[in-house]
Amino acid sequence: MLEKTREVVKKYEALTDMLASPEIASNPSRYSEIAKQRHELEAVVEKGCEYLTLMDQIAEDKAILQGDDEELKSIVHEELSDLEEQRLSLEESLKLLLLPKDPRDDKNTIMEIRAGTGGDEAALFAADLFRMYSRYAERKLWKMGILSSNEIGGGGFKEVIFSLVGESVFGELKYEGGVHRVQRVPETEASGRIHTSAATVAVLPEADEIDINIDPGDLRIDTFRASGAGGQHVNKTESAVRITHNPTGLVVTCQDEKSQHKNRSAAMKVLRSRLMALEGEKLRAERAEARKSMVSTGDRSAKIRTYNFPQGRVTDHRIDLTLYKLNNVLDGDLFELIEKLRIADQLELLNAEPVE
């Protein structure tokens, strides 16, 4: 740990020197790249410098114990016990900070919410989830844009697909993928019986063209007239676009924009992200063959969370966490949930792949 920490501090200092050089300062793209690398090391270096200072103090105290001053040795002996406790704590913190970072964490994100079992009540719950993530995005100052939606009467969604642009979006939301379940009394239920409905959430890192190479010959692109609410353009022009990726069978439909060009662009963005997620799932399946991950990061078949209205609680089943602040969570206060999931994921990685 000591040598690893010294290496990181040395790299941080080298990056700092590079940013001060005229050659790098005159190259905006290179400067931005190095500044980003340096920023990613800041938390490690801050904790690492504290650790190095502590280790120097421990070394000095141990040297004193080899001397002849019995009174000083007695004082140092008591001090060493406290320093060793601090060392263990700092090393645990550093192990977490030194874990390999998911390269997708900094990517923007495409989220897909679909109503599951429960009919109209499931569609209304899908709308609740959409609002929840929209409010969280507002709190994080992220930019959100709807790519595609299929709305039913009463404000529910059979499906809504939207993009989120901002700092570390995927890194924060990647734990939200899976089946979300709601337990509540629908407004139409006269007897007051509690119904259980569900919606699925998919969280995809937004793929750039350089991430995924799509052969145009593998695509079938169909255009048709948009349906549903949307203004005078609806049903007058073939602005809606359906793209089928023949090798995988993936189908993406976009009709929310007024122009065919914009719908095609949005559909390609979703398709690229789905293809990249597909490749990522294959890779993760290979790596996780020997163990099952405690914190799911996208398995749409896994029930991950229950929102219970009568008890005002939210329970995340992956980490056995229950919070009695349902209204706050649905209003976008996901900070505690996401932080606890992130910590659980890091601890699992730490146990599976301990830092040397």
Query: In 148-259, which ranges are continuous DSSP H helix?
Result: 169-173
Residue 225 scores a pLDDT above 50:
yes
Q: How far apart are CA 355 and CA 57, in angstroms?
A: 24
Confidence of residue 228 (pLDDT cuts 50, 70, 90): low
Q: Are 83 and 58 in contact (CB under 8 A)?
A: yes
Where in the chain are all domains bearing CATH 1.20.58? Answer: 2-97
Which whole number is the average pLDDT over 110-128? 92
Confidence of residue 210 (pLDDT cuts 50, 70, 90): low
Contacts of residues 231-239 at CB distance under 8 Å and 24 or more positions apart, as own/partner, are 231/258, 233/258, 239/263
Residue 232 scores a pLDDT above 70:
no
Bridge partner residues of 314 (DSSP): 307, 323
Residues 6+ away with beta carbon under 8 Å from 221:
241, 242, 243, 244, 264
pLDDT at 354: 45
Token digits of residue 329: 């969570």
pLDDT at 209: 59
Where in the chain are all domains bearing CATH 3.30.70.1660? Answer: 109-349
Q: How far apart are CA 207 and CA 269, in angstroms?
A: 7
Q: Are 250 and 244 in contact (CB under 8 A)?
A: yes
pLDDT at 97: 78
Which whole number is the average pLDDT over 135-154? 91
Residue type, 236: K
Residue 294 scores a pLDDT above 50:
no
CATH number of 109-349: 3.30.70.1660
The CATH T-level fold of domain 2-97 is Methane Monooxygenase Hydroxylase; Chain G, domain 1 (1.20.58)
Q: Give pTM, 2 decimals.
A: 0.66
pLDDT tens for 186-205 read 876 767 789 999 999 999 88
pLDDT at 236: 57
Task: Give the 3-state secondary structure of residue 228.
Answer: coil
Considering only residues 319 and 297, tell me which one the structure prediction assigns the higher pLDDT: 319
Q: How far apart are CA 114 and CA 103, in angstroms?
A: 27
CA nearest to 307, candidates 201, 163, 149, 172: 201
What are the angstrom distances between the C-alpha of 81 and each of 17, 57, 58, 77, 84? Answer: 38, 12, 10, 7, 5
pLDDT tens for 44-63 read 889 889 889 999 888 888 88
Residues 6+ away with beta carbon under 8 Å from 42:
12
Which whole number is the average pLDDT over 26-43? 86
Token digits of residue 119: 């009919």
pLDDT at 295: 53
Residues 6+ away with beta carbon under 8 Å from 242:
221, 222, 223, 224, 251, 252, 253, 267
Residue 297 scores a pLDDT above 50:
no
